[in-house]
Amino acid sequence: MTFYRETGAIISPQKNILHLVDGSAGLTVFPPELLWKLHKTSPGIVYTLSHVHPPGMKELSEEDRTTLLAQGLAMYPFSCRIATISECEGHFHEVTYFLKLESKEEWLIRKGKRQWEIIEESDVIHKDPEDEPEWYGWILLQRSYGDEKEFKKVN
């Protein structure tokens, strides 16, 4: 099984794919104009920015952290999440991080720079497409690892 490139998707609260994003070998850029448009049209619909990372890379990259902060600020008071999907020891881990942002009220009283931190919300293991065909991640993995035939054969 060969990893070719990152693939991303904008995911709704119901865990449906709203939009697929092509990444490169080591980076996924979620289009900010589209995120803003989706958020303006239907606040709360942008639930998670999910993407496939190279094997073993469950952590967020510096770019991911920057994106999460920017989107979290733009979509406040709705929270923003980024998830990584990566292969670790034969399984796929979907690790979701969310931005914990200081409330506007607290921030205005305290003044200074707005406080924020990134919190790991969950680490879910996915093993077999047949057990959970509804998981959106298989579609992203197929796009990152090659065609469907190759993906099924190896798994």
Residues near Zn ion (CB under 5 A) are 61, 64
Classify 131 as helix, strand or coil. Answer: coil
Distance CA 52, CA 86 (A): 6
Least distance (Å) between residue 1 CB and Zn ion: 20
Instruction: Give the residue with the Cβ less far from Zn ion, 66 or 115.
Output: 66
Looking at the chain, the number of H-run helices and the number of E-run strands are 5, 6
Residue closer to Zn ion by CB (options 17, 107) is 17
Q: How far is the CB of 109 from Zn ion (least distance, A)?
A: 35
> Which CB atom, from 64 or from 87, has the smaller least distance to Zn ion?
64
Q: What stretch of H or E contains 71?
A: helix 62-75
- Shortest Cβ 73–Zn ion spacing (Å): 19
Residues 124, 97 contacting (CB under 8 angstroms): no
